[in-house]
Structures are given as C-alpha cells and as structure tokens.
Chains A and B, each alone.
Chain A
Amino acid sequence: MDQGKISAGQLTLLIMSFTIGSWVVLPTGIQAWQNLWLIMFMGLGTGLLFAYLSLFLFRRFPGKTLFEIHERVYGPVLGKFISLCFLWFFLQTGGGTLAIFKTLLRSTVFTATPDLAILVPLILILVYGCRRGIEVIARSNQLLIMSTVGLVLVSILLVVNIFNPENLLPFFNLPFSEVIWTSISLAVFPFGQNVLFMMILPRVNRWQKVNGAVLKGMIGAGLVLSTIQFLAVGVLGKSGQILVFPTYEFYRMINIAQFLTRLELIPLLNFLTMGFIKTILCLYALAVGTAQVFNLRTYRPLALPFGLFLLLVAERIFPSISEHMRYLEEVQTFFGLIFSLLLPMMTLGIALLRGLPRRRMAP
C-alpha cells in the first residue's frame, strides 16, 4: 500500500483542484446563468453539509479509508459490493473528466488531432503519476493550483475594460424552486464529488486537522469558481447562456488595447491541469480501492489497467457534448446524490446503530 503522507495544507490544495476540475470549463445549472455565481455559495453551503456527514464518519474510524469502513460496517460481502459501486462512481467521474477535456481541446484548438493522440499520452502520464503515490501528486498539484488561483486573480485585472456590471442585473429573477434545485445540483457537482477524498484522508499525516483542511479547500474552490462565473457573466452577458464552454469564450474576449489579445490558450492549459489532477485522483482512488477490496499488498500494478479503463470510459461515456449536457441536467444530480449523500449517510446510520467502532482504535 502507499505509505506516502501528505500534509493538511496539501489536502486543502488537492480538494481545490479536484473541485475546480471540470466544472470550470463546463458549468452546470446554466439555466440560472446570471445568478450562478451567487447560487454557487448556496451550493457550497449544502456541499459542506454533505462533506461534514462523511467527515463525521471518518472521525469515527480514523485512519480507515471509505472501503475499509464499508467492510467493518456492512461485513465483508455487502461491504465489498458497496465499495464496487463506489469504484464505478470513481471510474465514471474520472472518465467523464477526461472526455470533457478531450471535447474541449477537440472543439477549440486541436481540431484535427485524433482522440487517441490526446488521450494516450495523458493516460500514460496519469499512470506514471499514480504509481509514484499521493505525495508526488500532491506536490505537483501545489504548483498547478497556485497558478490557477494566480490566473483568476490576474484575469480580474484583465477584464476591467470589457466588464459590464449591468450584465449582472437582475439579481434573483428566478423562481425560488429553481434556486433551490440549482443549489442542490451544485452541491452534488462539483462539491459532492469530494466524497472521493474519503479514500485519501488516511494519508494525511495529522488526521485531527482534516476537518479544517476540507473546509478551507471547499471554500477556496467555491470562491475561485464563483469569481470566474462572476467575471464571465459581466463580460459575456446573457449570450454566455448559449455557449458550450463559456469560460473559454470569456477568456477569448480579453482585449487590452488591441495588444494583449488571444490569451485563451493560457487558461485552457491551466484548466486542463485541474482536470488532470481530478482524473489522477480518480485513478489513484480506483487503484487503491481495488487493492483494498481484494486485500492486496500494493496498488501499483493496478494503475495501468485502470488507466486503460479510464481511456475506454472516456471514449464511450457520451456520444456528443449535447448528450452530456442533457445528462448533467437530468441525471447527474440524482446519480451523484446516491454517492455523495445517501450511501455515506446510510453507512453512518448503520455504524451508529451497531455502535461501531466497538473498541477505540489507535488513529
């Protein structure tokens, strides 16, 4: 098993990257476009509730991954089955992220590059990074998330001349039910997918600090996403609603004195690295999780086959981006709720009913 340890600070940054992940290029809740940056905070609040439920579970079983908790709470057979469901969830999340970034690259800059030419090198790097362990992932993430945050801060300055505050009006022109629905769907995606970190929390060197780190990470990610959304609405206005990749388009609009233009490649690559971290964490969770389900001594040989699975999933997850948008609108929220709320809640409930853990375990 991976013996590497990460610090609470590194966990915070990983959570930020993971949450920013693919939402930043393909926002959900587009029907609330103008108010999305405000509803983001409601989604964040709800998402934090979900996260604290899972964290409560973790604190009852410190040092255990979600899959180990499953086996203790449900017994070996049912526990392994539920873990397998989660493995599917991780696989779909990772494959979906790959597919979104593949689509983004294919429809913007790499229009003639075949899918495999983008995906195969990416998968090889993912597998390599995953085998190196969580420490290396966390360390490379530090630089990537810093540059993303830096980019967002710089873009505030870059859009002053094209930012029209009038575009933000009117606030709250939505029916109340739609606001609630959008905030729940935001709580599930991007924030709810953080349930994956239940596989990584035991790798944090001081488990007492985990709660604070998760809180900081999710709030940080919420701030970044809300800022980008805020700027995008101010720059694009209502027409952002008909765009497939509004964030990319928003960076295309930047034009400082006819000189500083066509900057869209920089954020594109930057967000690509966020997707990369998200996918690599999915791959890591898949490999480690499977190793735990089958009681293996090392997860490393599993990185390669799961990398292949991610490739297959990315190829077969949606036939077109419009099908994916339909999925996000109709299914994603329900599907995600099962994994980020219902299953952890059930596990916690049964653990409490059975009075687990019986003996106090060493952290």
Chain B
Amino acid sequence: MILLVVGVFLLLFLWEAPGLVAKEYWRELAVFTILLLIGLVFSLLLVGGVELPYIESFWIKVFAKVGKALTPGS
C-alpha cells in the first residue's frame, strides 16, 4: 500500500515536472515539489494508520477553550 502511494506520487511528479524543466520554471518546480512532498507525507501517515486529528474536531476544542477564557467566572 505504501509502495502504491509512493508510486502514484512519483507518477504525478514525472507527469508535471518535465514541462516545468523545459520552460526553466525553477521556482514553480520547487513549490510544486514541496507541496507534493507535504501531500506525500500526510498520505503516508493516513495510509500508515496514524491517527491524525480531525480538522473540525480540533477547531471545536480550540474554540471551546477560547470561549472559556473569554467568559471569566464560569
């Protein structure tokens, strides 16, 4: 499964990169690669079964804390 994910990402990279190299868009290539790597890391974490926090659950917790801090005495 992990190999499959890495393979897919490699394929995506090879599909996009040559065009950018040919046009000498180096900055674009760098940003693209970094973003893809971030995506790869998170995908691997997900596939690897790491329990990433759910985004909205995270916000609910944060805002509950903020709300408590803003209402003193309770």
Q: Do A and B bind each other?
A: yes
A residues apposed to B, CB below 8 Å: 92, 95-96, 290-291, 294-298, 301-302, 304-306, 308-309, 312-313, 315-319, 323-324, 326-327, 330-331, 334-335
Task: Select A290's contact among B31, B55, B56, B57, beta carbons within 8 Å.
Answer: B31
Task: Select A308's contact among B43, B52, B53, B55, beta carbons within 8 Å.
Answer: B43
Measured as residues with beta carbon below 8 angstroms from the partner, the interface class of chain B is 20 to 34
The answer for the CA separation of A309 and B55 in the assembled complex, in Å, is 13
Q: Which residues of B contact A302 (CB under 8 A)?
A: 31-32, 35
Q: Which residues of A contact B31 (CB under 8 A)?
A: 290-291, 294, 296, 301-302
Contact A331 B39 (CB under 8 A): no
Q: With contacts A295-B27, A298-B25 known, is A327 near B56, CB below 8 A?
A: yes
A354 shortest CB reach to chain B, Å:
29
Q: Which residues of B contact A334 (CB under 8 A)?
A: 63
9 contacts between A and B (CB under 8 A): A294-B27, A304-B36, A305-B35, A316-B52, A318-B55, A319-B54, A323-B57, A327-B59, A331-B56
The answer for the CA separation of A291 and B43 in the assembled complex, in Å, is 23
Q: Which residues of A contact B53 (CB under 8 A)?
A: 316
Report whether over half of chain B's contact residues are helix, strand or loop; otherwise say mixed: helix
- B12-48, CB under 8 A of A: which get 1 and which 0? 1000100110000101110110011011001100100
Q: Which residues of B contact A294 (CB under 8 A)?
A: 27, 31
A40 shortest CB reach to chain B, Å:
24
Is B1's beta carbon under 8 Å from chain A?
Answer: no
Contact A296 B57 (CB under 8 A): no
Chain B's closest residue to A306 (CB) is B35
The answer for the CA separation of A253 and B35 in the assembled complex, in Å, is 46
Q: Which residues of B contact A296 (CB under 8 A)?
A: 25, 27-28, 31
The answer for the CA separation of A330 and B57 in the assembled complex, in Å, is 11
B9 shortest CB reach to chain A, Å:
9
Is B60's beta carbon under 8 Å from chain A?
Answer: yes
Contact B46 A305 (CB under 8 A): no
Task: Select B55's contact among A92, A298, A304, beta carbons within 8 Å.
Answer: A92
Q: Which residues of A contact B12 (CB under 8 A)?
A: 304, 308
Chain A's closest residue to B8 (CB) is A308
Task: Select A309's contact among B20, B39, B56, B63, beta carbons within 8 Å.
Answer: B39
Q: Which residues of B contact A331 (CB under 8 A)?
A: 56, 59-60, 63
